[in-house]
Structure formats: structure tokens, C-alpha cells
Amino acid sequence: MKYIYYTLLIFLFTLNCESSPKKNSQNKKNTEKDLNEVKSNSNKILLLSDDQMKFDQNILLVKVGQKITLTLKHVGKLDKTIMGHNFVLLKKDVSVSNFAQLANESANNDYIPNNSNDIIAHTKMIGGGESDTINFDAPEKGVYTYICSFPGHFALMRGKLIVD
């Protein structure tokens, strides 16, 4: 009985060791693919969000003046009143925490402050299974912050749009 038990353990250990390099190799290929997609400077951007309060990309690369088509897709299942997401691209040097505080007070406007001069572009608030597409021109060279302005989300749901 011990012999069978030890043989089974060795078999499982060997199986696990053999599959790990394949997983690591596959993960490396996926990471390289993701980086190549980000580096492609495409004018079409697909940004995914989910029920775990995260964007799938935290760095977007574009060229100065490039016409950008950005689609935000919520791949989660929760309604926008519970786990809504949007994409808000802020101008340079805008205080994210100050903007988020103003956004919290703008529930009636999808958490976009009325008459704000801090925004370059934004999507509407979406829930699970929904998407929204916007078009905008890439601003001048620099690094710009994008966030989700749903209350409390900006701490985790943020990234950088790098304009070169």
C-alpha cells in the first residue's frame, strides 16, 4: 500500500513539474503578445474592465494628434449601479483625488463632474456585459492619467496614457 501511495505521489509531482514550464512558457508568450499589442501604437484601443475593479491594461501608448477610437468593455456581470465603470482621461497635472471627490458628488451625471475642465475624454458609465466607444484626438506629448470615476474605484482602476 505504501508503495502505491509513494508511486502516486511521485507521479503527481513529476506531472506538476512537467506542466509548469509549459505554463510559464505560455504565460511568457501571452505577456509578450500583450506588450507587443500595447507597443503597436494602434489608434483602436480595447480596454476591458471587470467585477474585480480593474482595467486589463494600465499603460496605453499613442502618438501626438492621433485620432483614437477607445472602446471600454465591462466583461463582468454586475449592474452599473453596483459595479459601474467608465474611462476618464484627465488633463496633465490634475489631482486624481480631488477629481474623484468631485466625481463622487456627481452621481446624477454618471460620476462626471458638471462643467469640468479637467477631462480630455470620457465614456459613459457601463455595467456588466456593456461597452461604450469614444473618439478623441491624442493630446500633446506627455503622460496622462486615466481612471474609473465610480466612487472608490480610482484607487485601483487607473492607468497612464503615454503620448509620444
pLDDT at residue 46, as a whole number: 98
pLDDT at residue 20, as a whole number: 41
Q: Domain 41-163 classified CATH 2.60.40.420?
A: yes
Show the cell assigned to 96.
486624481
How far is Cα 11 from Cα 87, in angstroms, rounded to an integer?
49
pLDDT at residue 41, as a whole number: 54
How many Cα neighbours within 13 Å face the side chain of 107? 6
Closest CA to 100 of 47, 148, 29: 148
User: Where along the chain do its domains lie?
Assistant: 1-39, 41-163
Strand residues in 87-157 grouped as ranges (E):
88-90, 119-122, 131-137, 142-147
pLDDT at residue 9, as a whole number: 39
pLDDT tens sequence for the chain (164 residues): 444 434 433 443 344 444 444 444 444 444 444 444 444 456 999 999 999 999 999 999 999 999 999 999 999 999 999 999 999 999 999 999 999 999 999 999 999 999 899 999 999 999 999 999 999 999 999 999 999 999 999 999 999 999 99
Show the cell assigned to 49.
474592465
pLDDT at residue 118, as a whole number: 97
What pTM was computed for the model?
0.75
The C-alpha cell 454586475 sits at 78
Largest pairwise CA distance in the chain? 76
User: Residues with Cβ < 8 Å from 153, sequence gap 6 or more?
Assistant: 53, 85, 147
